[in-house]
Amino acid sequence: MFHTPAGRGLLAVALCAALTACGGGGGSDGGGDGGSGNGGGAATLISQPANNTGRLLASNCFQCHGTGGQGGFESITGEADEVQRYRSLAAHPARTDIMAAHAQGYTDAQIAAVIRYLQQ
């Protein structure tokens, strides 16, 4: 199954989703009020997961579209028409190309995180 490009893409999406689900909680280590002189680092940790999620998920896009959204395939910037096309791919599971496999692997919240990252 994972010997085809679509299978590898689906595996990559599944791995990213699993990594995203495992990370970000930031929780407590039981170390009191966190007053270790970190200069407000806790606020930084709290605000980073959404950006990191978008970056992590967008890293799948970079394989074909390049890190600047300009690669061997059409460019991506997170504009409204691109978002609509991507969501349309997710809604039509009969398609079997790599973009449909990626789209079907993301929730609306994950798509929104990628868009926010691309628009930075």
Q: What is the pLDDT of residues 66-118, one digit of tens each?
A: 777 666 677 677 777 777 777 777 777 666 777 777 778 888 888 888 888 88
Buried b (16+ CB within 10 A) or exposed e, 3-37: eeebeebbebbeebbeebeeeeeeeeeeeeeeeee
- Rounded to 5°, angle at Cα 27 from 22 and 29: 120
Reading the block at residue 73, the tokens are 């395939």
Note the pTM of the prediction, 2 decimals: 0.48
What are the start-end ranges of the H helices in the chain?
A: 5-22, 41-47, 49-65, 80-91, 98-104, 108-118
pLDDT at 51: 66
Instruction: Give tens-digit pLDDT for 8-23.
Output: 555 555 555 544 555 5
CA 47 to chain centre: 16
Q: Does 49 or 54 have the greater pLDDT score?
A: 54
Instruction: Enumerate residues 6+ apart whose C-beta is below 8 A from 54.
Output: 113, 114, 115, 116, 117, 118
Instruction: Enumerate residues 6+ apart whose C-beta is below 8 A from 56.
Output: 16, 19, 20
pLDDT at 17: 53
